[in-house]
Amino acid sequence: MLLTVTGSSCSGKTTAVRACGPVPGVVWHDFDEIGVPDDAGTAWRHRCTEEWIRRALDYQDRGLDMLLTGQSPLGEVLAVPSADRLDGITACLLDVDDEVRRLRLRERGVGPDAERAFLGWAQWQRAHAADPRHCPEAITTGGWEPMRWDRWSDWTSDDPRWAVTVIDTTGRSVGESAADLRRWIEARHRQRGPNQDRA
């Protein structure tokens, strides 16, 4: 099973997962572990998501779930070719207020153009988490050809298979956010999420 924790840069994904501590039966990886080229784009992210899904399948064969943090939204994860081989897929969007994100980005030395892009991606991710019909071209245009968008392209926001948990870290301590995230991880690991049969 794959547990995916997504969100635009500076949402606090890595910090929160580290603060969660180990969860028995769950192996954590960060998407960027495989390296990010300077020209990374949509098709690159799709191909790499497929690579991560295949790693999740290896863990699945060993009786383990994989937690993946990164920026790939649920629509992309569901559409990669091997996603339908997973026992389950469940998604969490870790989010933070735009002003907080802006400050964090500036602390990292991110320039104005990149800052606007990250803020726009955060806004799109929020809307995508709520409704799969929101501007799907943001992830489908210029994508990797083998992607299977038809797996969810006709779903609506009230479809029970489209269920993204949102954890807003704004104004909360790392410990509080990590506690919320750990509860989500443990619940999905034990019970499997509502998205398990959708891929």
Strands 26-30 and 65-70: parallel
List of residues 6+ apart from 51 with CB closer than 8 A: 34
Q: In sequence order, what DSSP letters do the residues of 10-39 get, joined into one string?
A: TS-HHHHHHHH---TTEEEEEGGGG---TT
The domain spans of the chain are 2-191
Is 2-191 a CATH 3.60.70.12 domain? no
Number of C-alpha atoms within 13 angstroms, CB side, residue 166?
16
- Please report the pLDDT score of residue 193 as a whole number: 41
Q: In sequence order, what DSSP letters do the residues of 41-66 get, joined into one string?
A: -HHHHHHHHHHHHHHHHHHHHTT-EE
- Please report the pLDDT score of residue 192 as a whole number: 52
Residue 1 three-state SS: coil
Could you read off the pLDDT of 75-120 as tens digits, one per residue? 999 999 999 999 999 999 999 999 999 999 999 999 999 999 999 9
